Structure 1
C-alpha cells in the first residue's frame, strides 16, 4: 500500500503492518477524545515515525495515488480530525 505523509512524501508499506499501526491509531483517537494535547502530539509523532521506519520511501520525483494519507508532523488536532475515517487514520487490518 502507498502511504503519504503530508508535506513529506510517500512510502510503500506492507498491509501486514496495519495491525501494528492500528494500536498507535487507537491511542491517538483516545487522546483526541480526552483533549490530551501533549499525548496527541507524542502519539502522532510515534505513528509517523513508525510508518517511516516500516515503509520504503518513494523517489522524490515519483507521484503515485496514495492508499492512505496521514497528517504532517505539525498537524493540529483539528487538521487530524478532518482526516479521520470511520475507524481513525489507519484502516482496520484485513
Structure 2
C-alpha cells in the first residue's frame, strides 16, 4: 500500500504496518468524535511517526498513485471532523 503524508512524501507500507495504522486511525476517529483535541493531535503525530519509521520511502523520481492520504500533523480538530469519520482513512 502506498501512503502519502501531505507535504512530506509517499511511503510503501506492508500489510502488518497497515493493520497497526488502522488501529491508530480508529482511535483518532473516536477522539475526533469526542472532541478531544489534545489526544487527537498526539495520535495523529503517532500515526505519521509510525509511517515514517516503518514505511519505505518512495523516491521522488517514482510516480505512483497513493492509496491513502494522511493529513499533515498540524491538522485542526475542526478540519479532522471532515476526514476522520466513519471508518476513518484506513478502511477496515
Q: TM-score range by the shorter chain?
A: 0.7 to 0.9
Q: Give the paired residue count.
A: 92
**Could you say which residue in structure 1 is the equivalent of 2:61?**
61
Give the unaligned 5+ runs of structure 1: none
Q: Secondary structure at the match of 2:87?
A: coil
Alignment of 1:1-94 (within 5 A): 1-84=1-84, 86-92=86-92
User: How far is the alpha carbon of 1:75 from its aligned partner?
Assistant: 1.3
User: How far is the alpha carbon of 1:85 from its aligned partner?
Assistant: 6.2
TM-score (norm 1): 0.85
1:26-79 deviations in whole A, cap 9, x for unaligned? 111111011101001001000110111110001123331001111011112233
Q: Which portions of structure 1, spanning 4 or more consecutive aligned residues, are displaced by more than 4 angstroms?
A: none
